[in-house]
Structure 1
């Protein structure tokens, strides 16, 4: 059952639907990770998706639907599959072979989802595949140097594009206070990006910060 036709904060192709009496974000597509469905709609679980959490928290992602997306850290395709449901060409970079197999399965019914078994820290290895001038970079990588990954991949981003980054404090340094880690990552980002908005994702993901930025 449709709860609403969406809102200005949601991109076209993302709506709120009721699943078992609970209103949730949803996209149209084949299920990927056992999520509830309602006809062609599949629930988007913000507890398993940093971008889903950013949308639930009404961050100004700038997503409208139909964008060309570079997704860094696609893992098994939980979020990348939702993105490909409403976006345009979606290049999904994942380094680990095991989750990449699941990502390939998610792509079978999604002609706009292009899995790349590559390391997001080495954008030169997929520069021959990913088109320049992408509208959005979505980054969710579990590694040290998350700001550096975003800066290195900014080569693909259009001048008016957006970076949607989920900073994982524990991946940077498990011994430090997350607030200090967030501050350092933002400071490093500012050498190549203007940070437009930040918000802690604690309601859905512990020790994570959502960041919306645009290239300088």
Structure 2
């Protein structure tokens, strides 16, 4: 049985096929139908996780820490159905693009910070129900380990491992295995590749074990 989508996310017909959609102001020219806007799984790893039927544990209304927010493609959809959403992005240019996205969503808080240094935003971020990790860097498991401190005991890590960001020459399966081996303080609940939406990406659902 396919897990239910979070409240505020639906599969709706667009272009004669069912696609994910959320209610909110469009931010990058996606198709809309009234208040609903397409959540393109080809541009969103979290959208792809929902599209392939992973049990993310998302219900709607959660407090979220999103690492690797970029210009807001995915995190804008998250803020459409979640509660307070903290969006961490390291690069100044995409953070500038993220600001107008946040202006239209009073629950979305952009942070120009490095996800590898959670101590720089620990004074701002409250305990969260969901940690979404979508960072393109080496040491992706260590990023998840360092940010585990923000997760509530019953929270969820939704991480996407980008094989080419770790080692462009390595076999992706080896990179995925190394990530799972290096993940500390989590119990892995589910994994899945994100083909055909994103090549050489592994999605991981885990919960803290402390």
Shorter-normalised TM range: over 0.9
Q: 1:3 — aligned with what?
A: none
Please list every run of 5 or more consecutive structure 1 residues that lacks an aligned counterpart in the other structure.
1-6
Report matched runs for 1:1-216 at 5 Å: 8-132=3-127, 134-189=128-183, 191-216=184-209
Which of 88-97 and 101-110 deviates more?
A: 101-110
Shift of 1:9: 2.1
Contact 1:147–1:185 under 8 Å retained in 2: yes
TM-score by length of 1: 0.95
Contact 1:9–1:55 under 8 Å retained in 2: no
- Write the distance in 1 (CA, Å) between the matches of 2:114 and 2:4: 31
Deviations 1:144-178 (A, max 9, x none): 00000000000000001000000000000001000
- Write the distance in 2 (CA, Å) between the matches of 1:17 and 1:178: 33
| Aligned-partner SS, 1:106 | helix
Count of matched residue positions in the alignment of Structure 1 and Structure 2: 208
Q: 1:4 — aligned with what?
A: none
| Aligned-partner SS, 1:116 | strand
TM-score by length of 2: 0.97
Question: CA RMSD of the aligned region, Å?
Answer: 0.8
Runs of 4+ in 1 over 4 A off after TM superposition: none
Which of 111-120 and 12-21 deviates more?
A: 12-21
- Write the distance in 1 (CA, Å) between the matches of 2:195 and 2:19: 18
Please list every run of 5 or more consecutive structure 2 residues that lacks an aligned counterpart in the other structure.
none
